[in-house]
A and B are shown apart, each in its own frame.
Chain A
Amino acid sequence: MDTRTSQTLDKYAQDKYKYGFITEIESDRPQKGLNEETIKFISKKKNEPEWMLTWRLNCYKKWLKMSDPQWANLKFPKIDYQDIYYYSAPKGFEEKPKDLSEVDPKLIETYNKLGIPLEEQKVLAGVAVDAVFDSVSVATTYKGELEKLGIVFCSISEAVHKHPELVKKYLGSVIPPGDHSFSALNSAVFTDGSFVYIPENVKCPMELSTYFRINAEDTGQFERTLIIADKGSYVSYLEGCTAPQRDTNQLHAANVELIALENAEIKYSTVQNWYPGDEEGKGGIYNFVTKRGLCKGKNSKISWTQVETGSALTWKYPSCILKGDNSIGEFYSVAITNNFQQADTGTKMTHIGKNTRSKIISKGISLGYSQNTYRGNVSFLKKADKARNYTQCDSLLVGNKCGAHTIPYIDSKNNSAIIEHEASTSKINEDQLYYCRQRGLSHEEAVSLIVNGFCKQVLQELPMEFAVEAQKLVSISLEGSVG
């Protein structure tokens, strides 16, 4: 590698995070630490019915008996669960504001700064947004229009009150609280997140989107999202996240459950840009996320697309359980790690039904001193006749101090299963850089172009409104510039 390349790379390694500001707002928090009282506090704050509190407490009991999973390729100090605030809401949020006039202008300003306007006249065209600030949902746009179609798009806290039958039926049905310690923890203390229900044969006409913002210090965010697509329906959902720049690590442990009934399709996209820590690896979000989709009905389809650029630690495996015959699961991922970031991410495809198909496209890009691991598990159960999987994992190394790892597990109990796996690891190619520069592009532009090209297969799966944003984010994650 020539000196010019290493200079540019060093420049990239000093990546700047542009969402690192803090909103000065008084918040309402319980004591630090986790115990039954904390859970009762959260439940009371949300004015929850008895059954919800009982569920939480049962999950807490399960959590007490569990220890954190250790198998990921991540190095971090043991998490002290007693040193975290489990709930934080801007003062006066006992009830969700009915309209924006009741919302503190500081909050609206925060979302404006993040590029997510909430005011009626400025809302993003074609995208309904649920804005979650620390532990509470601030506002949801386009609600009325969606209601006309029978679509429910609200915060999960609201759904507990208004749609208890759906919540009772589906909450924890895809991710059993006892699955692992983070799912139990989330189930016990989840604060807010989105709830979506699409009625039979309704194609949701706009993108539904949740924007998560962690603001308060030493606070964990435990979002819970539940999406149900009834027979023959379709929905595309997008999630975005940012957090202020702080020296201490913060915990984010989300659970997302998707259920697609017969002939239904759910497309779930994530652009994750939590604060990644500084260039020495100080601070940043610990992101322990469980996302799982159940293709419950015949011919259903669930597709996960993720662009992971933030967090100090990422532990995340959006998965599909392909139960219905002919159901389809897809996973498209771009994970970029820089400086001292560590990512252990991938997917799990469980083929249960006949003729089920899954497709995995994973692109990992490592820079600086970071470690980037793809971990995948594809399994075929006995009855999964003629099921097939295609996996493609490509890793791109930029510089020579980072690492890329690919760990695919395949388990087949059915002889008719077809499995294809392709993997590649490459360094950023000097010949490509030379070619681009010979055409007048700067070194930095050339790297950004090549990396964006490397990710294209995944980026093009994002809803159009966000594809351009994601492309910019990829460039920013590489550049030193404040976009």
Chain B
Amino acid sequence: MIFLNINNLNVSIEGKKILNDFNISINEGEVHAIMGPNGCGKSTLANVLAGNEDYEVNSGKVIFKDEDLLNSNIEERAQKGLFLAFQYPVEIPGVNITPFLHASINSKLKNEKKPELDNLSFAKLLRKKAEELGISNDMLKRSINTGFSGGEKKRYEILQMSILNPELTIFDETDSGLDVDALRIVAEGINKFKNPKNSYLIITHYQKLLDYIHPDYVHVMRSGKIVKSGDISLATEIEASGYQKF
């Protein structure tokens, strides 16, 4: 099975080219990190994979689980097992996570032709996962992301990931805006739910997050494409001497 294969992907927004013959292959169970300076197209990659309609795909192919990903809309991609942990999770006032995530997981189960979860089993699952992440019951009662600190929002993303159990999770600069402690808590959360069957694509500026997560591969991205690939030592190199040399 081809898990994820991106082949010569060209993407633009309002006529401006952002991804330029972008290529990557990710197998089941692998952890990849993409590092790159501001404006190199990292976040565009994340959003294009999620199906954000603001971007225009000019050419190229994306195969996810043997299927053409670009033919599906946002929710279909999510239901197929693609999860985007947002850089800035949006606040949704008045909407509680329980019905929200319940509808979310049921949409995925329905797509997989599995029985949907009833209220009680879902509530149990949510409470269990929240507990494992150290998220209080109080926080579960609040509206989604509303009035949350940066760290709380990211933990909420991880809680959602842990419940939906997606085959591919993309972390879009999950470390941005977090202090060292929050970063550690988030990284621990990711590690806790990391699962050898699932794959991860971690997009980041800094090495810090990778110190905790230990990716199998590190890629350097510049001007809309990957310019170098290697292992974790590449991240150390970037931390020491910056992106200039790539």
Contacts and interface: CB of A to CB of B under 8 A. Distances in A.
Interface of A: 2, 4, 429, 431-432, 434-443, 445, 449-450, 452-457
B95 A4 contact: no
A4 B73 contact: yes
Contacts, number: 76
B93 interface: yes
A445 B111 CA distance: 16
- Count chain A CB atoms within 10 A of each CB in B78, B94, B160 and give the residue with the most: B94
B240 interface: no
- Count chain B CB atoms within 10 A of each CB in A2, A439, A453, A454 and give the residue with the most: A439
B160 A439 contact: yes
A435 B53 contact: no
A409 B92 CA distance: 31
21 contacts: A4-B53, A429-B90, A431-B90, A434-B52, A434-B90, A435-B92, A438-B50, A438-B51, A438-B83, A439-B164, A440-B78, A440-B79, A440-B103, A440-B108, A440-B111, A440-B164, A449-B92, A449-B95, A452-B94, A453-B92, A456-B93
Contacts of A437: 51, 73-75, 78
Interface size on B, as a range, is 20 to 34
A2 B84 CA distance: 20
Given A435-B86, A435-B89, A436-B100, A441 B94 contact: no
A396 to B, nearest CB: 11
Contacts of B95: 449-450, 452-453, 456
B107 interface: yes
Contacts of A4: 53, 73
A450 B90 CA distance: 12
Contacts of B51: 437-438
A432 B94 contact: no
A427 to B, nearest CB: 14
B7 interface: no
Contact of A441 (B89, B107, B111, B143): B107
A452 B103 CA distance: 14
B94 A455 contact: yes
Given A440-B111, A441-B107, 4 more contacts: A435-B89, A435-B92, A449-B95, A454-B93
Contacts of A431: 90
B232 interface: no
Interface string B68-108: 00000111001100011010011011110001110111011
Contact of A443 (B75, B83, B93, B101): B75
Contacts of A435: 86, 89-90, 92
Contacts of A443: 75
A441 B97 CA distance: 13
B92 A439 contact: no
A248 to B, nearest CB: 38
Nearest to A457: B94
Closest 6 CB pairs of A and B: A453-B94, A456-B94, A453-B95, A440-B107, A440-B78, A437-B74
A429 B74 CA distance: 16
Nearest to B82: A438
- Count chain A CB atoms within 10 A of each CB in B73, B89, B95, B164 and give the residue with the most: B95
